[in-house]
Amino acid sequence: MKQAVVVIHGIGEQRPMDTLRSFVEAMIPADTPGGTPFYWSKPDRLSRNFDLRVLKSSGRTTTDFYEYYWAHKMQGTKLGHLLGWLWDIFKRPRRDIPDAIVPIWRTTRWTVLLLLLLVATGTLATAWGTFDHDGNPFALMPLLLGAIGLGLRYSALSYLGDAARYLSPNPQNVMVREQIRADGVELLRALHNKGDYDRIIVVGHSLGSVIAYDIVGYLWHEHHDQLTKVVPSNLALAARYANHEALQPVVKDTLPNAGAALDGSLGSTLRFREQQAAAFIEQRGLGNPWRITDLVTVGSPMAHASLLLGRSVSDFKQRIERREAPACPPTEDDKGYGYNARQPVMLGQKPFTAQYLHHAAAFAVTRWTNLYFPAPFGLFGDIVSGPVKPVMGNGVLDLPVTVSRWRGWLARSWLSHTKYWSERGGDQGYLGALTTDEHAISKGKRPSATEALRWAVDLKGLRSFRPTPAGEPLAEAEA
């Protein structure tokens, strides 16, 4: 049995393999205290980038770790790309700004207005001769503005520039956006076509989480209506159907029922995740080649998706309702999250009408876990990220995390954005209680970021996603 983990790095001047190596070393604990995690490195034959490698874990369950590297596609970013994107956000009304970043939005607005006022005042004072040129305190304004410009050029541009070009659908950015998405979809498609993997996990950090969301949704378009085993010649399915066995009980009943019962509580989210896993197994048993069981986002700006991916809060909600933006749980269709096939298939002596999950229902079979460092007042923590559930749906499992006590200050600083897998230890007790303690997340002790990430990726959970010939979960069949 094999599984693949695809890691998508975030913004900035990233170097190939740096993100992947640090991630793998955090996911595979060393056998001895102070030891080095052991993994193999081999050429990545699915990528055209010769700097990339596949890192392969050892053990009974083989895991191949891939990196989707996209930083080199962002060359040529100019200050105009960034300023145009920031201006679009700056001019939006308060109702279209997520609550979590309102303090930053207001501070930025007042700062810009103050600078404009100082420039205008200095210009007028000089023009009217109120101050001598040599004694005019506003004569320093060009130097101040120049310093701000250099700061944007050499710091903000290196980081926010990537976000500005990917998130802004201006004509000058379309080619870059499409190339990043197309190459990401091609990698996931190649992993599916390879045929070696029983399970694929996609992990996205920062802007990489937005890319991960996009490419998972786009690839699902190719798989949502593929039930290749539902054919007249399939004697096994015909026998089950003749025995009055329901072939799609999860997709037709239990999954949409679990989605309808989502009320924002931890218990309802966990029950929905159980049905997502069951739906994955059911779809696979009927021949759907989809293999992505989990999307894990860390430090994700998807918490502000209505601001970054839509023109307004109402506009983004409409995109979800129109099924332009996949939600979790998916937007409902005529039959739960899907629709009936146009033509029935004769299974033995009885006609069977398959039900397909619709084109925006990727999260009917793929679980979504989101890790973030809370940022009270939008200032003290990872201001880029936040809870995704309020925006993308109650099926998302949000996990607020921290770091170890002696470095706990990191969890309350902007530096936390790059510390999601900086630790190597962790107590599994908290996350072990997650399935039974309704208040473990909201009121309990927070897990370390690395501990939560290991739990979300769940490298040891591969066997639970492999169906038996009867289409039931392997763990249940063995029990």
Q: What is the pLDDT of residue 271?
A: 96
| pLDDT band at 412; cut points 50, 70, 90 | confident
| pLDDT band at 388; cut points 50, 70, 90 | very high
> In three state form, how does the secondary structure of the chain look?
CEEEEEEECCCCCCCCCHHHHHHHHHHCCCCCCCCCCCEEEEECCCCCCCCCEEEEECCCCEEEEEEECCHHHHCCCCHHHHHHHHHHHHCCCHHHCCHHHHHHHHHHHHHHHHHHHHHHHHHHHHHCCCCCCCCCHHHHHHHHHHHHHHHHHHHHHHHHHHHHHHHCCCHHHHHHHHHHHHHHHHHHHHHHHHCCCCEEEEEEECHHHHHHHHHHHHHHCCCCCCCCCCCCCCHHHHHHHHCCCCCCHHHHHHHHHHHHCCCCCHHHHHHHHHHHHHHHHHHHHCCCCCCEEEEEEECCHHHHHHHHCCCCHHHHHHHHHCCCCCCCCCCCECEECEEECCCCEEECCEEECCEEECCCCHHHCCEEEEEECCCHHHCCCCCCCCCCHHHHCCCCEEEECECCHHHHHHHHCHHHHHCCCCCCCCCCHHHHCCCCCCCCCCCCCCCEHHHHHHHHHCHHHHHHHCECCCCCEHHHHHC
Distance CA 90, CA 184 (A): 31
Cα–Cα separations (whole angstroms), residue 207 to 104, 203, 375: 19, 11, 18
Query: Please, is 414 exposed, middle or buried when counting C-beta atoms within 10 Å of its C-beta (0-12, 13-18, 19+)?
Result: middle
Q: What is the pLDDT of residue 111?
A: 66
Q: What is the pLDDT of residue 474?
A: 42
- The gap between the terminal CA atoms of the chain, to the nearest Å, is 20
Torsion of CA 130, 132, 138, 144, to 10 degrees: 170
Evaluate if residue 472 carries a pLDDT over 60. Answer: no
Evaluate if residue 217 carries a pLDDT over 80. Answer: yes
Average pLDDT over residues 376-395: 87
Average pLDDT over residues 105-110: 65
Mean pLDDT of the chain: 81
| pLDDT greater at residue 61 or residue 153 | 61
Highest mean pLDDT among 147-156, 366-375, 423-432: 366-375
Q: Who contacts 352 (Cβ-Cβ below 8 Å, separation ≥6)?
A: 230, 241, 247, 344, 345, 346
Q: What is the pLDDT of residue 299?
A: 93
Distance CA 285, CA 477 (A): 14
Domain 2-74+173-226+292-342+359-478 indexed as CATH 1.20.1550: no
CA 264 from chain centre, in angstroms, equals 19
Q: What is the pLDDT of residues 351-371, one digit of tens each?
A: 999 999 999 999 999 999 999
Name the one residue in this structure whose structure tokens are 């696979």.
284
Phi then psi for 336, rounded to 5 degrees?
Answer: 65, -115
Q: What is the pLDDT of residues 152-199, one digit of tens each?
A: 555 555 556 667 677 777 777 788 889 999 999 999 999 999 999 999
Distance CA 240, CA 285 (A): 12
Least confident of 30-39, 81-90, 123-132: 123-132
Pairing mode of beta strands 62-68, 199-205: unpaired
Highest mean pLDDT among 140-154, 171-185, 207-221: 207-221
Phi then psi for 357, rounded to 5 degrees?
Answer: -75, 140
Q: What is the pLDDT of residue 148?
A: 58
| pLDDT greater at residue 400 or residue 168 | 400
Distance CA 141, CA 145 (A): 6
Residue spans per domain, the chain: 2-74+173-226+292-342+359-478
Q: What is the pLDDT of residue 466?
A: 74
| pLDDT greater at residue 391 or residue 442 | 391
| pLDDT band at 436; cut points 50, 70, 90 | very low
Average pLDDT over residues 433-445: 53
Evaluate if residue 295 carries a pLDDT over 70. Answer: yes
Q: What is the pLDDT of residue 338?
A: 94
Residues 464/436, Cβ–Cβ less than 8 Å: no
Average pLDDT over residues 245-250: 94
| pLDDT greater at residue 296 or residue 422 | 296
β-sheet bridge partners, residue 347: 350
Evaluate if residue 34 carries a pLDDT over 70. Answer: no
Average pLDDT over residues 402-411: 74
| pLDDT greater at residue 478 or residue 58 | 58
Q: What is the pLDDT of residue 13?
A: 64
Enumerate long-range contacts of 21-27, CB under 8 Å, 24 or more apart. Answer: 21/55, 22/421, 23/65, 23/203, 23/421, 24/55, 24/57, 24/65, 25/424, 26/421, 26/422, 26/423, 26/424, 26/450, 26/453, 26/454, 27/65, 27/421, 27/453, 27/454, 27/457, 27/459
Q: Over pLDDT 90: what percentage of the chain?
A: 47
Evaluate if residue 428 carries a pLDDT over 90. Answer: no
Q: What is the pLDDT of residue 35?
A: 61
Q: What is the pLDDT of residue 231?
A: 92
